[in-house]
Structure 1
Amino acid sequence: MTTSMIRKMNAKEVTRKILNNEQLFILDVRNETDFMDWKIEGQSVEIINIPYFDLIDGVDPALEKIPNGKDVLVVCAKEGSSIFVAEQIAEAGRSNVSYLEGGMKSWSEYLEPVKVADLSGGGEFYQFVRIGKGCLSYMLLSNGEAAIIDTNRMIDQYESFLKEKNAKLIHTIDTHLHADHISGGRALAEKYGATYHLPPKDANEVTFSYTPLEEGNNIYVGNEAIVVQPIYSPGHTIGSTSFIVDNKYLLSGDILFVESIGRPDLAGLAQDWIGDLRETLYSRYKNLSDDLIVLPAHFGKVTELGAGGLVSGRLGDLYRNNPGLNMQDEGEFRKTVTENLPPQPNAYQEIRQTNMGKINPNEEEQREMEIGPNRCAVHDK
């Protein structure tokens, strides 16, 4: 038996199917615990879980659940188990069987560039959707220059895009010290001689030099009409900083999401930071224009993906519809952001230490540290 009867599907192809709302039937053969913690999701995705060890002696349990005539994508952690199962399903006479190349590890790392808009000064603005992890990063391009905000560690994908756009990287910026994923901002800045920016209040323990983000100090990219204006907005971390781009877009970091709000506990200081979080959401942001388009650093549900995969929301609409912005009683707010917290992100303490420069895990260790959902939001009930 060879793999010629099956085909491989990469993370980009799966992402495009999900964003195009195409039907996709998935057989996930990881163990039940891993599956329940984190899986491929989409509005037109039908997914079942049968652990690999239940299929070693035969794939009949899977064949009984896979509808006749449907394409099936087999998924596992790294790839090997899914190839074996896909081969057995094909050998049993089912056609149109695929496996996910690189498994869920590749799914966790793929970035899909989605255009946000053309900017008023002639530049372009892109959101990079890390669909398997829920992370969102941004690239501004203007007059041959570029800035990247909340860079993921897979810097090669940004490099390819910069090359495609023939742009020189000038700035990398982190809105805060991340706890759910490893930042690639410093590595990318060092490689290309760009300036790496970080909020100083999040940088007390970092081991490297950086340029502090300070409210009122604009960051220019190419044409001066494209201005990134930092706004101090603590709550998720003590240094969390938001940005207004082109007077139209609010990059909210992990403070405000489309359907939820940021959690204040990942540095172990939830009670200290709840007040800051409320002040940012109910005062600082409230004083901004309702017409600003919010572009967060994460999303939690596939329902937050809009046209083409863009994750965004008008600030005024979020104040009407986002439950986290509609708790006028401070006691209710404090109770919600302490009682509705999801489990903390996988290896979040090690991720924070990596982002501080205190430890230097190798590539495989970094990949393992990031496996799973981002869990940066307060859950709504």
Structure 2
Amino acid sequence: MRAARLIRMALLLQSVPGLTAADLARELEVSERTVIRDVQALQEAGIPVRSERGRAGGYRLAPGYRTRLTTLDPSEAETLYLSGLPSALRDLGLSDAADTARLKLSATLLPSLRAAAESSARRFHLDAPAWFREPSTPELLPELARALWADRAVEFGYARPGREPGAPRRVEPYGLVLKAGVWYLVGRNPDAAGTAYLTYRADRITALRTPTDGAFTRDASFDLAAYWQEHSARFALSLLRATVTVRLTPAGARRLPEVTDRAAAERALAAAASPDPGGRVTVELAVESEDIAFAELLPLGADAEVLAPPALRGRFAEHARALAARYCDAGPDAADLAVTAEGVRGGGPAEDQR
């Protein structure tokens, strides 16, 4: 463990001279005290790590020194061949460049490592889009990617569903994210107060152009992965605008995270009171809307009983009556189904009507 960390520290100092103890601690996920001990260990091993004080100080390798720790082991070579999504590279117009890079990398590897790297590509394939959705690549995506690489602002219209594109807006592109087969642009509005980062669906961008005065200086502190994680969590919460009260059997409680928002289901179950004598729990579940709650809870069948709001409970009662009517000729069990549907006809919560 420590040996791998020491190698990574040496490579970091070779790649980014002037890293402070705090920088290295953050990158290596250790304390600053551990960083100081590791620097001493590197120095004792003959690696000339220098410490410089002052505002521009930090740890550096001696001028002209380069480590010989860059040889890949088999697991690293295998992992490197899995570091990109083929569909994403194709969408960005980078598939040819990626193929060439892999060929160059393969040519530099030892024969044993070359075989390990190539075998990983035969065993693993990363497919980003969700099931039952035909992926659509926005026409303007390669142009957006070029502006992103060059740190050049773009101007475009943005067409939300059912609306005409608004006035052109100027955005400094900071990142492109592929989420469940959909591309998103993360950008900063240079005219907004502070650092207002916004997210745009790439397939809604129209009339893209790159102005000649578009060069901008990227904020080096911006962390795309951290921004996206926070944005995704905030967006998911913003969708949950309604609450329904549901009584669940043990089977229904187990299956709830499978049919609705998992985080919302887990929060609801964690906040629920103790089960009743029949083992059922009553939860307050955050949902997008009553319509979506109806569609999501329906697969739970008799393992979920909606108690509130009354309108949603009434929809489930009506659905039960419709099922009873549909299957009235299906056999002797249909009578039991009709009785069950009749039991909730009034629309009010019932304790035990079986």
**TM bracket (short chain):** under 0.3
TM-score norm. by structure 2 comes to 0.25
TM-score norm. by structure 1 comes to 0.24
Instruction: Name the larger-Rg structure.
Output: 2
Structure ranking higher in helix proportion? 2
Structure ranking higher in strand proportion? 1
Larger relative contact order (Cα-Cα within 8 Å, sequence gap ≥ 6): 1
